[in-house]
Amino acid sequence: MTLGYVLRRILVSVPTVLLVVLMVFVAIHLVPGTVVDMMLGTQNYLTEEQIRQLYAQYGLDKPLIVQYFAWLKNTVSFNFGVSLRTGKPVLQLILDRLPVTLELAALSMVIALTLGIVFGVVSAVKRNSFVDDIIKVFSLIGISSPAFWIGSIFIVLFSGLFTEFNIFGYVPINRDPLKNLQSMFLPSLTLGLMICAQIVRVTRASMLDVLRQEYIKTAMAKGVSRTALIFKHALKNALIPVVTVSGIQLGYLIGGTIVIENLFALPGLGRLLLQAVNERDYPVVQSIVLFVAIMIVALNILIDFVYTLLDPRVELK
């Protein structure tokens, strides 16, 4: 039954993904300026004839709808084309950059969930105390500050205080795991703190809600220890909204990585996307959006599973 559910979800997701990609395809082509314009800039020396040839070479002289279906047809057969700007295969570009973004996203989520849940629980348990106030202020700052700003502060702070700390100079994890972690630390902390702020709020509210339930009072009356009460009885039930929020935040994370990868000079997918949009490198933009759309859909399915693990009453049909 679960397998059937997954297959159904995947089938339903296909039109969603296609719609997203179509929208992005139309959007990027609607923006004035083509890849040829970007290549020539304001210093171009080419004749009209040469420019026409360039358009023909990139297939940009064909109607938009023809371009879309040509791209779709190739993509279905796993041919993602080549980058118009660099001439490299798009799939290779994406696969080169994907690990950086996945690592950044994973580390950020680990930081966000760890800090978010711990602070959220503490805040709820110590309700209206000084600690609660501090955590509330902290999460308010986190929610209202842009990632770019927090990241900039970290950079200035760390480059001044810890000159031995390797802020820049990304090293792949398979080459030197320690240096890799070092170069990933500040970017993931920045993103992690952003997301953490939301998780703190939800965890706190949800914990307070659960702690008011009758069964908690019963457990308390039975003499269950405070630690067991919080972590065993309350937290597990309080986590369902947290999972939902985390899922939504994962979507935001993709946007966040664009900003953070640029700021910290990380060679990830987000930076590639920004560069590709700036240069109107259509195949790269379309393929990255496709990848991201698929990833988000997959994460949503995964999150539904986590629900069932947390609450046996939730059933996947």
Partner 1 sequence: MKRLLMAFVLFASVVLLASGKLTIAVDVEPVGLDPHLVTAFASHRILENVYDGLLRFGENLELLPNLAESYEIPDPYTIVFRIRQNVKFHDGTPLTVEDVIFSFKRILDPETKSPAAAFYQDVDSIEAVDERTVKFKLKKPMASAILPNFAGVNSSIISKKFFESGKNLQLETNGTGPFYLAEYVAGNYIVLKKNPYYFVQGQPVLDEIKFVFMPEELSRVAALKNRDVDMAKISEPLNVRQFSTDKYNVFKSATLSYYLIGINTTRKPFDDPRVRNALNYAINRDAIVKTVAFGEGVVTGPMHPSIKAWALPPEEFEEYKYNPTKAKELLAQAGYPNGFEFSIVTSARYNFDKVAQVIQAQLAQIGVKVNIELVEWGIFIKRWRESDFDAFISMNSGSMEPDIQFYRHFKTGGSTNVFKFSNPRVDELLELGRSTVDTEKRKQIYSELQRLLVKESPVIFLYCANQFFVADKSVEGFKLLPNESLIFLRETYKK
* Residues lying near partner 1 in the complex (CB under 8 A): 31-34, 37-47, 50, 53-54, 57, 85-88, 93, 96-97, 152, 155-156, 158-160, 162-170, 178-179, 181-182, 185, 262-265, 267-268, 271-272, 275, 278-280
**Least spacing, CB of residue 187 vs partner 1, in Å:** 11
Q: What is the DSSP letter of 248?
A: H
Cβ-based nearer residue to partner 1, 210 or 277: 277
Cβ-based nearer residue to partner 1, 98 or 301: 98
Q: Residues with Cβ < 8 Å from 316, sequence gap 6 or more?
A: 1, 2, 5, 304, 305, 308
CA nearest 199: which of 104, 123, 292, 105?
123
Cβ-based nearer residue to partner 1, 14 or 156: 156
Cβ-based nearer residue to partner 1, 49 or 214: 49
**Least spacing, CB of residue 271 vs partner 1, in Å:** 6
Cβ-based nearer residue to partner 1, 169 or 223: 169
Q: Which residue has the tokens 């997301």?
A: 195
CA nearest 147: which of 261, 269, 35, 237?
261
Q: Residues with Cβ < 8 Å from 269, sequence gap 6 or more?
A: 94, 97, 98, 100, 101, 257, 261, 288, 291, 292
Taking the C-alpha atoms of residue 220 and residue 127, their distance in angstroms, rounded to an integer, is: 18
**Least spacing, CB of residue 210 vs partner 1, in Å:** 28
**Least spacing, CB of residue 130 vs partner 1, in Å:** 19
**Least spacing, CB of residue 219 vs partner 1, in Å:** 33
- Amino acid in position 200: V
